């Protein structure tokens, strides 16, 4: 990832490699806003090379055993530790079968070298508009678990990401895991994106459909089209209230294109992103049909 900076080297910093969560907490308490927690380091080191961030202390948590866990408990859900990489997630059969949208998002992120290093927690904490994991996590009602001085707190991903590189995290807190609730029986989900040759998606969507108490429930979340992921409630309502047919899908995708607020940047115009909203929604929904 590069934003065109002329810098080729990292700024000076002190490197810490704790072996326990208690050590991480102590280091954060000691160094405050001068410290950054690193798991994979893909986004953080890029930001530092670009001089968008210049922390004096880097706390590498890959040596913390408690953060290297990927666990699924039936009836409870999936827990992804802060050090679990995209490659490890992509190889999970449970993720593929029960959390398909997330599996497709992580499997299609960047390239194999990046996926072998990058982590899901780090990707969410990076909070740039083009990340693939956030729409999938929001569609699956995922939360982040945060260790703070008073204990732990859990925040839904949809409210944890407040804006570009802006998250609900204090300087003395760090994210220990992503928690995804067990899906309803028979729930289906899908993820689609369009890149257009860029390393970043120009538009992406995650869709989940489930039947709860004989009523269809839908979640449609778009990414890469605005500063934060966006749910399209109008499209969701249409999918819930009408018979699930090709005609309904086409109308829901058109509604999303009209209702979802898209931004313009160096990668694509607002008008082009509106078109892509309809395209990726159609592809995801047709697959679910």
> Each residue of 213-226: pLDDT tens digit?
889 999 999 999 99
Nearest to 71 by CA among 166, 158, 178: 178
What's the pLDDT at 165? 93
- What is the residue extent of each domain of the chain? 14-60, 65-181, 188-288
Alpha carbons 155 and 167: distance in angstroms, whole number: 11
Nearest to 178 by CA among 131, 127, 220, 119: 119
Q: Which residues contact 282 (CB under 8 A, 6 or more apart)?
A: 249, 250, 253
pLDDT score of 212 more than 60: yes
What's the pLDDT at 198? 78
Identical fold for domains 65-181 and 188-288, yes or no, is: no
Supply the mean pLDDT for the chain. 95
What's the pLDDT at 6? 62
Alpha carbons 30 and 163: distance in angstroms, whole number: 27
Q: Which two tokens stand for residue 13?
A: 């910093």
Q: Which two tokens stand for residue 152?
A: 């732990």
For domain 188-288, the CATH architecture is: 2-Layer Sandwich (3.30)
Q: What is the mean pLDDT of residues 1-10?
A: 63
Class of the domain covering 14-60: alpha beta
Percent helix, strand, coil in the chain (nearest 5)?
35, 25, 35
What's the pLDDT at 25? 95
Q: What is the mean pLDDT of residues 57-67?
A: 97
Alpha carbons 146 and 235: distance in angstroms, whole number: 32
DSSP 65: G
Nearest to 263 by CA among 166, 164, 136, 127: 164
Q: Which residues contact 91 (CB under 8 A, 6 or more apart)?
A: none
Alpha carbons 210 and 195: distance in angstroms, whole number: 28
Span 9-50, pLDDT tens digits: 899 999 999 999 999 999 999 999 999 999 999 999 999 998
Span 102-142, pLDDT tens digits: 999 999 999 999 999 999 999 999 999 999 999 999 999 99
Alpha carbons 267 and 194: distance in angstroms, whole number: 12
Domain 65-181 has CATH 3.30.465.10: yes
Q: Which two tokens stand for residue 29?
A: 């308490």
- Top-confidence residue, 287 or 199: 287
Span 238-254, pLDDT tens digits: 999 999 999 999 999 99
Nearest to 84 by CA among 100, 99, 95: 95
What's the pLDDT at 1? 46
pLDDT score of 4 more than 80: no
What's the pLDDT at 162? 97
Q: Which two tokens stand for residue 167?
A: 């998250």
pLDDT score of 273 more than 50: yes
pLDDT score of 152 more than 60: yes
pLDDT score of 196 more than 60: yes
């Amino acid at each position: 990832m590069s934003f065109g900076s002329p810098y080729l080297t990292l700024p000076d910093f002190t490197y810490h490699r704790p072996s326990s969560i208690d050590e991480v907490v102590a280091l954060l308490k000691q160094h405050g806003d001068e410290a950054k927690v690193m798991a994979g380091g893909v986004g953080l080191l890029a930001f530092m090379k670009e001089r968008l961030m210049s922390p004096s202390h880097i706390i590498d948590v890959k040596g913390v055993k408690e953060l290297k866990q990927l666990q699924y408990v039936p009836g409870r859900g999936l827990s992804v530790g802060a050090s679990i990489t995209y490659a490890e997630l992509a190889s999970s059969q449970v993720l593929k079968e029960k959390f398909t949208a997330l599996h497709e998002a992580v499997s299609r992120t960047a390239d194999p070298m990046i996926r072998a290093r990058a982590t899901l927690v780090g990707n969410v904490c990076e909070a740039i508009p083009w990340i693939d994991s956030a729409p999938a996590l929001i569609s699956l009602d995922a939360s982040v678990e945060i260790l703070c001085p008073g204990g732990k707190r859990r925040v839904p991903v949809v409210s944890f990401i407040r804006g570009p590189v802006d998250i609900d995290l204090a300087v003395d807190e760090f994210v220990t895991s992503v928690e995804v609730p067990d899906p309803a029986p028979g729930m289906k989900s899908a993820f689609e994106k369009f890149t257009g040759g860029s390393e970043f998606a120009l538009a992406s969507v995650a869709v989940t459909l489930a039947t709860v108490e004989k009523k269809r429930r839908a979640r449609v979340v778009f990414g890469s089209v605005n500063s934060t992921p966006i749910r399209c409630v109008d499209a969701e309502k249409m999918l819930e209230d009408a018979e699930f047919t090709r005609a309904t899908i086409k109308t829901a995708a058109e509604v999303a294109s009209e209702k979802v607020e898209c931004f313009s940047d160096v990668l694509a115009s607002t008008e082009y992103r509106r078109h892509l909203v309809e395209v990726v929604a159609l592809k995801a929904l047709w697959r679910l049909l």
